[in-house]
């Protein structure tokens, strides 16, 4: 089975944020939505690349930066989908 690829990816240093297409069920309708994952990549003592969801004090601004980019993309995508007739996941006030 082929591994799904993210719709969009944002990076800042070792931090990355990926957006994924997902479907949610609302009543008897299925709606497309975007979901976000955030990770930090690092090499372990053997030199193998690994991922974690744990962040140090100096990495939090990088996480926020990636999440802000992801949020802007999601809002633009949501507006684009609503113009095409799809319902938005949620409204931001």
Residue 48 has pLDDT above 90, yes or no: yes
Domain count, the chain: 1
The tokens describing 62, both together, are: 């990088």
The tokens describing 89, both together, are: 């996941």
- Whole-model pTM: value is 0.78
Alpha-helical regions (H) of the chain: 60-83
Q: What pLDDT digit, counting tens, does each position of 58-71 carry?
A: 999 999 999 999 99
Asked whether residue 91 is assigned to any structural domain, the reply reads: no
How far apart CA 79 and CA 61 sit, in angstroms, is 27
Domain that holds residue 19: 8-83
Asked whether residue 88 is assigned to any structural domain, the reply reads: no
Contact call for residues 63 and 13 (beta carbons, < 8 A):
no
């Amino acid at each position: 089975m082929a591994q799904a690829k993210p719709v969009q990816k944002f990076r800042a240093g070792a931090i990355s944020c990926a957006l994924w297409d997902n479907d949610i069920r609302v009543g008897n309708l299925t709606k497309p939505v975007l979901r976000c994952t955030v990770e930090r990549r690092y090499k372990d003592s053997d030199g193998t690349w690994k991922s974690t969801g744990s962040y140090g004090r100096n990495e939090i601004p990088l996480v926020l930066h990636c999440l802000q980019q992801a949020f802007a993309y999601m809002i633009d995508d949501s507006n684009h989908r609503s113009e095409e007739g799809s319902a938005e996941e949620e409204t931001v006030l």
